[in-house]
Structure 1
Amino acid sequence: MTELSDAEGTALRSALSAEHAALWVYGLASAYVGENRVRSAIDDAQEQHRRLRDTAEKVIRGAGQIPPSAQPAYDVGERVSDQDSAIGLLIKAEGDCQVGWRSVLENTDDPGLRGTALDGLTTSATRATRWRLTVGQQPAAQAFPGQA
């Protein structure tokens, strides 16, 4: 892609900002997890979020625009004190990523960008469902992921 419409650019920058925040939140959450399976899931999620972040940055730069930078810290709005509260925060971060990627999906016709957005939306929705199952939240899955 060599050009982004205003709607595509706005949506992609929003998705990228959500990816930056998610990576920060995953780093915070890793300090509160004790179970190996949870730590492994966090490592996998971070790898996927980095991949999506890097792809979004590449597309934005390829369109001659400047991608938003990650913030040094993010206001999580709640206290994190144990593994369950950390996972609750991860669920919120995944929800923000779903909203961002769904917006990209709804605002572009570019096949490559649509593929990236669909990947971002489905992997975030799947992870959020797994995190809800981990802490016993019901319903575990949302009917329409990313719908604000």
Structure 2
Amino acid sequence: MPAPTRRSFLALGALALLCGCTSGPDKARRPAVEDADRPLRLRQLAATDALLADYDAVLAANPGDADRLGNLRDDVVQHREALAQSLPAASPASSPAASPSASSPAARTVADLAAAELRTAGLRLADLAAASPALARMLASASASGAAHAAALGDTGPIAADGPSPAPSASAAADTEALQSALAAEHAAVYGYGVVGAFLPAGPQREDGRAAYAAHQSRRDAWQRLLAAGGASPTAAAPGYRLPFPVKDAATAGQLAAHLEIQLTAAYADLCATTALRPQAATALRECTLRAAHWGADLPALPGLTPADPADPAPTTGAG
């Protein structure tokens, strides 16, 4: 997908503060973590190479789609580079991609390519439980990107991952802290969507806004219940939030919706680093990524892992 613009990272000022990304893994632990992650990275690299081979085959058969498919393929190359970071012996991303595995049919059409994206997104999720926190964040982000690619190619079907998701829990202190941050982000998103809905015209846009508003209310309520069940006091919503720019019509309302979803991807990428909440966090990350794309956001190759541009202009005061 296209590289993110400055504007794609503007969002509620308070939400940006609540959704700071976690730092990288502790250097003292990195060698052991990398050794444990190595089989997962190699497996994911093989799947990524197969997907790149599919892109090459479909690009060759559809030269008129070169711009659209090429942009999506560039994202997959970035996924590969991220996976290969601690594998110096791995072939560079610029080398010819490996042939697809015998178990997966080679893509010949754009529809085949969309199916391959969903299949690869499922493989990312299947390795979440065994991955280190840093790799889990990357895999969940790449899976969300794959879902967005598939949607852009016309396939909005579900992603299949191996095995059922465990029941969510937030007993560990780190899990609780990350969940509180996600809850705070959802509080801000609910507030923001209240503003969005006031400026959308009757029809499909307003219905989309209502659906997103309801989805964030539901996610907020689920996190509150989970925290309370674990004995924690859920973070309360602020009385109001400062908007990053004035919202005065449907166009700026749609922009705000896109920005809200972009910021939420950072909170959920961080939540993917927890141990007990990874499946639920990955689902939330994917849903926010898909909604951001629906509202017209320029998504980075790895949603939630790209920091905001520090040169962005300061937010202006809106409703609050």
Which structure has greater helix proportion? Answer: 1
- Asked whether the 8 Å contact 2:196–2:254 carries over to 1, the reply is yes
- Asked whether the 8 Å contact 1:18–1:93 carries over to 2, the reply is no
- Check if 1:59 corresponds to 2:197: no
Distance 1:94 1:2, change over 3 A: closer
Match of 2:302 in 1: 144
After TM superposition, the structure 1 = structure 2 runs for residues 44-123 of structure 1, keeping only pairs within 5 Å, are 44-106=211-273, 108-110=274-276, 113-123=277-287
Distance 1:67 1:35, change over 3 A: same
Q: Give me the whole-angstrom Cα distance separating, in 1, the residues matched to 2:202 and 2:302.
A: 30
Q: What TM-score do you get using the length of structure 1 for normalisation?
A: 0.86
Structure 1 unaligned spans of 5+: none
Q: Give me the whole-angstrom Cα distance separating, in 2, the residues matched to 1:2 and 1:52.
A: 15
Q: Give me the whole-angstrom Cα distance separating, in 1, the residues matched to 2:280 and 2:256.
A: 24
Distance 1:9 1:86, change over 3 A: same
CA RMSD of aligned residues (A): 1.6
- Check if 1:26 corresponds to 2:26: no
Match of 2:208 in 1: 41
Give the paired residue count. Answer: 139
- Asked whether the 8 Å contact 1:52–1:116 carries over to 2, the reply is no
> What secondary structure, in the 3-state scheme, does the structure 1 residue paired with 2:281 have?
helix
User: What letter is aligned with 2:275?
Assistant: D
Q: Give me the whole-angstrom Cα distance separating, in 2, the residues matched to 1:4 and 1:102.
A: 19
Structure 2 unaligned spans of 5+: 1-167, 308-320
Give deviations 1:84-133, integer Å, cap 9, x for gaps.
Answer: 11111111211221111111111x221xx22221121011000000001x
Percentage of matched positions with identical amino acids:
29
Q: CA deviation at 1:141?
A: 3.3
Q: Give me the whole-angstrom Cα distance separating, in 1, the residues matched to 2:174 and 2:303.
A: 20
